[in-house]
Amino acid sequence: MKVIYSHSFYPVYTSDPAAAAGRIEAVMNALPADTELIDAEPATEAQIALAHTMGHIGFVRREGLYDIAALAAGGAIQAARLGLEAPTFGAIRPPGHHASGDSCWGFCYFNNMSVALLTLKDEGLIETATILDFDLHYGDGNVNILDHHSWVTICNPTSRTRDNYLEEVKTFIEAHPADMIGISAGFDHHLDDWGGLLYTQDYHDMGRMVINSARKNNGGCFAILEGGYNHDVIGQNAAALIEGLSP
């Protein structure tokens, strides 16, 4: 599988847990041996502006985080483009699903998923999209930016037991075919992370649900990194998802 990354994602950019040293390294060190690495390229301001106001873009600039946030957004666009042909994973940061059009929180600055899907839609590459956000935390930014678009459907699973959670995901994916399935891949619901709910195998299984739906509907799929804070398990969880998504 192709994986979008950059060494620029390695340094600590803020004091928040999502920027703790070693997070991206933990993911990269666990990737399958046949992974093809692709350097991330920054999104243009025009692409970012599809999801964000100029006032918010200016705020991120003043915070000194524009370059790294634009690089993450650009990596998401690359993952989505490549995902039209084959499943692709974006090992990017900062994460994005808590960034709304004119505000942000939760270690996020630009909404990577929204920038990617809106770019593909703007270029006429997709007509419909589905988002599976299995991060522990509700992806309010994804919802705030995209939920009012009739061509996008979003799932933030809420079940509190493992079996019900996986069944909720399966039911949603099967019920919402689309040209593109985007995964906001937060791994903090893992048994050994903050959520304490899911097993590593579950990420593989959710990846398999997504690729099976994409194949059935002649669509694409991609995943981009969101949360996940236990460096001892985030790599194996990301690898499980990648293996599940692999054709």
Taking each helix axis from N to C end, the angle separating 200-216 and 162-175, rounded to the nearest 10 degrees, works out to 10
Mean pLDDT in consecutive groups of 10 residues from the start of the chain, 247 residues: 97 79 95 97 98 98 97 98 98 97 96 98 98 98 97 98 98 97 98 98 98 97 97 98 95
Instruction: Report the alpha-carbon distance of residue 7 to residue 10 in Å, rounded.
Output: 5
What tokens appear for 141 in the block?
């930014």
Burial classification of residue 125, based on how many CB atoms lie within 10 Å of its CB (0-12 exposed, 13-18 middle, 19 or more buried): middle
Q: What is the pLDDT of residue 13?
A: 83
For 94-131, the pLDDT digits (tens) are 999 999 999 999 999 999 999 999 999 999 999 999 99
What tokens appear for 70 in the block?
């634009």
Pair 178, 219: CB distance under 8 Å: yes
Instruction: Report the alpha-carbon distance of residue 101 to residue 25 in Å, rounded.
Output: 30
pTM of the model as a whole = 0.97
CB count, 10 Å around CB of 14?
A: 15
Instruction: Report the alpha-carbon distance of residue 151 to residue 90 in Å, rounded.
Output: 23
Lookup result for tokens 């930014």: 141
Q: Phi then psi for 168, rounded to 5 degrees?
A: -60, -45
The answer to whether the bond into 95 is cis (omega within 30° of 0) is no
Please name which of 178, 214, 221, 225 lies closest in space to residue 88, comparing C-alpha atoms: 221
Taking each helix axis from N to C end, the angle separating 66-83 and 112-122, rounded to the nearest 10 degrees, works out to 50
